[in-house]
Amino acid sequence: MKKAICVFIGALCCVGMTACSIIEDLSSSLSDTQSSVSQIESGESSKQQKTAGNQTSIFRSITAKNGDPITGAFDVSLSETDAIFLYIEAQEEMNVRMNFTYTTHDEPGVTLGYCMEDGERTTFDLKSATDPAYEGLWTTKEVTLKKGMNVFYLSGDDVSCKMRFKISGIDQTKVTYIGAFPREELVA
């Protein structure tokens, strides 16, 4: 009788291990599918790549659907050059609202800025923020988009930043381009 019970328990363990393996494979497959759908919706890749400012970043998502706010999420390791994360080409000047949450992993020295290509810069020094602040604390800034290509970037020296942002109030009928990379890089 003991032998039969031991064989039965052993068989249950094998079935359980097989089920766990199948669930893990399904979970991985579902995660890959969700990532592909996110890439299709956003038109941007979520893999590690160089931003326009040559910083290593990982774009989680960026979306700009007609009538909806522009949203994005990314991680970036900052060095001496600006890490550009968004380009918006406007046909005329407009005021918009940028909401964002971030973590600098409690390190100081990150600056958020925007400007026209080769134009005057508007910057906001970001306070050091811990990981628990990410998603918990949101900051709002009023931003004036100028006619032409507006460039949003982060800068800092040997610091990393994880950010989610939402830009609302954009009249997308007056915008000719929204993307994470310069228009020229998309053509090449």
Task: With cut-offs at 50, 70 and 90, classify the pLDDT of residue 58.
Answer: low
The structural architecture, per CATH, of the domain 48-187 is Sandwich (2.60)
Taking the complete model, does pTM exceed 0.75, yes or no? no
CA separation for the pair 24, 54 (Å, rounded): 36
Residue range 110-154, pLDDT digits in tens: 999 999 977 889 999 999 999 999 999 999 999 999 999 999 999
User: What's the mean per-residue pLDDT of the chain?
Assistant: 76
Residue range 61-118, pLDDT digits in tens: 677 777 789 999 999 999 878 899 999 999 999 999 999 999 999 999 999 999 997 7
Q: Residues with Cβ < 8 Å from 76, sequence gap 6 or more?
A: 51, 55, 56, 57, 58, 83, 85, 154, 160, 161, 162, 163
- Looking at residue 43, its pLDDT comes to 42
- Residues listed for the chain: 188
Q: Of the candidates 188, 181, 14, which has an alpha carbon nearest to the alpha carbon of residue 85?
A: 181
Domain extent listing, the chain: 1-42, 48-187
CA separation for the pair 43, 14 (Å, rounded): 43
Residue 56 corresponds to which tokens in the numbers above? 């290593």
CA separation for the pair 169, 186 (Å, rounded): 26
- Looking at residue 44, its pLDDT comes to 41
